[in-house]
Structure 1
Amino acid sequence: MEGRFFAGQLLIAMPGIGDPRFERAVILVCAHDSQHALGVAVNRPVDGLTVPDLLERLEIKSEIKAPADLVLMGGPVERERGFVVHTDDYRAEHSLDISAGVALTATRDVLEAMAAGDGTPRLALLALGYAGWGAGQLENEIKDNVWLSCDADEALVFGADHETKWTRALAKLGVDPERLSFTAGRA
């Protein structure tokens, strides 16, 4: 595992993770290097908060009828700060490339672009907060069977069916959640 970084991958929480903030979480790893990792949960909607609601609260006029996509809880760190994961057909000065075709922007201009209705970004999700790990922490959690990882795809990242993302991510790995154990072992 040494030298392997997970940017662009999805982390899938194992049953019995022991932290209710991450129970059945699917997290897109947006940045990962030897010093830190940053990810955004893609399957944790904030009850009753939609993108149009948030645009209105931020006084961003929408030129279109914005879809009633739910705002997601991206993670427990900086929960008042917004992060937009989007297709890379939209770029801002401070956009961070996650993987081929996907970027992250945490500035107001991406919200204004979404409200403008010109078709960019083609797909986007808005999350409040992020999940963060210090040097070596994520690698150790993966070694300790806290997370599985799989390749990200548009349906898992941007799809609106948040209830099934965890099961569908496991299915990408050929894993039946009914057969997962709450305890880990070592051979």
Structure 2
Amino acid sequence: MTSTWLPPEEFAATLPKATAFACLFFTDEQERPVQLRAVYSRSHPWQWPGGGMEEGERPWETALRECREETGIVHDGPPRLLTTVFGLPGRKWPYSSIGFVFDGGRLTAGQIRRIALDPAEHDDVRALPLDRWRNLMPPQDFARLEAAMEARRTGTATYFDTWDWGD
């Protein structure tokens, strides 16, 4: 550890870099997770409405904007954090990832039918029992889904820190 003072811009250059995302987690009325199938990611095919934070945006604002863009749903509930996600960089991506999973609540069958997917991003929406998701997603994605479900069930936010990009 050095005790040399650095101007803020020089100090900032020494810090680890990270990207941030935010999303909304929905279930249907039977508590089955609702997910969207991404057309651009074979390694992470099932996702929640959400995406990368834009300049000047806060996580809750990102979750609402991305949900509206990806599904047409205009969510008006209060921000309730379910899970914070962290991943270390790897060969496939040079930055850490920090994510915020907010509770979007429960959707009726009619609301799910009216979801308007952006075909450039997603081609399917499904509500399935938790155990049925296991074979449709990589283990780390399923573990993250379980963490969100546990947070919803208990009312206590979870910390999920195995979202690493890997080598």
TM-score (norm 1): 0.27
Which one has the bigger helix percentage?
A: 2
